[in-house]
């Protein structure tokens, strides 16, 4: 069995891990404004298990990529996007995604998904969903945000998944400790 190398970054990284349908994106959409209001510049990495196509057929950038460009930068005055065609379909590698960010412009990298990789994460858990807790098998989980009593005892920090200011306070404290 290969030993997993520790995730390398110039700024703190914090993940949000949960089963599909738990509310990772919803929680992050509520959390991000609190963190940016506190002055944090945040890079976000989201893992998707679905086929993702951010460009549209008929657009020049799409047509150029489909014609053979293995990397395509679509640049506009307010944003730009890099699309990279992979020769072989395989799961994305978190370290490669982290390395693609302009970390010198960030204070924190938040990650949605990649729950099977070892890096600091907050587990989002809703007992009503009937799924097992992740923290029992993942020592990189540093806190659990939940909306009810957990089915398995833990010594981890417990947060209310519906208390966004408390979640933001926890994340801000984490950044302060790891910067």
Domain boundary among 36, 62, 88: 88
Do 40 and 81 sit in the same domain of this protein? no
Least confident of 16-30, 33-47, 57-71: 57-71
What pLDDT score was predicted for residue 10?
Answer: 95
Do 62 and 124 sit in the same domain of this protein? no
Do 42 and 98 sit in the same domain of this protein? yes
CATH of the domain at 135: 3.40.50.300
What pLDDT score was predicted for residue 1?
Answer: 43
pLDDT over 70 (residue 110): yes
- Render pLDDT for 81-105 as a digit per residue (tens, 0 to 9): 888 887 777 888 899 999 999 999 9
Do 61 and 135 sit in the same domain of this protein? no
Give the confidence band of 62 by pLDDT, cuts at 50, 70, 90.
confident
Do 38 and 119 sit in the same domain of this protein? yes
Do 115 and 135 sit in the same domain of this protein? yes
Do 120 and 174 contact (CB within 8 A), yes or no? yes
Domain extent, residue 122, equals 13-47+92-178
Residue 124 in any domain: the answer is: yes
What pLDDT score was predicted for residue 53?
Answer: 64
Domain boundary among 61, 88, 115: 88
Residue 148 in any domain: the answer is: yes
State how many domains the chain has: 2
Give the confidence band of 3 by pLDDT, cuts at 50, 70, 90.
very low
The CA-atom distances, in angstroms, between 106 and each of 8, 35, 110, 113, 175 are: 14, 12, 11, 20, 11
Do 100 and 17 sit in the same domain of this protein? yes
**What region, left, alpha or beta, does residue 47 occupy, with left being phi > 0 and alpha being psi -120 to 50 degrees?**
beta
């Amino acid at each position: 069995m290969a030993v997993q190398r520790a995730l390398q970054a110039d700024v703190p990284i914090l993940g949000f891990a949960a089963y599909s349908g738990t509310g990772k994106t919803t929680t992050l959409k509520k959390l991000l404004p609190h963190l940016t209001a506190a002055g944090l510049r945040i890079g976000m990495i989201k893992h998707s298990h679905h086929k993702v196509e951010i460009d549209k057929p008929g657009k020049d950038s799409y047509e150029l990529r489909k014609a053979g460009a293995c990397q395509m930068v679509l640049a506009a005055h307010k944003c730009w996007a890099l699309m990279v065609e992979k020769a072989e379909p395989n799961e994305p590698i978190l370290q490669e995604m982290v390395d693609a960010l302009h970390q010198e412009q960030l204070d924190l990298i938040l990650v949605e998904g990649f729950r099977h990789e070892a890096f600091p994460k907050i587990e989002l858990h809703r007992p009503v969903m009937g799924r097992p807790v992740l923290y029992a098998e993942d020592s990189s989980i540093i806190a659990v945000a939940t909306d009810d009593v957990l089915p398995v005892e833990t010594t981890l920090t417990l947060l209310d998944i519906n208390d966004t200011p408390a979640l933001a306070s926890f994340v801000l404290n984490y950044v302060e400790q790891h910067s």
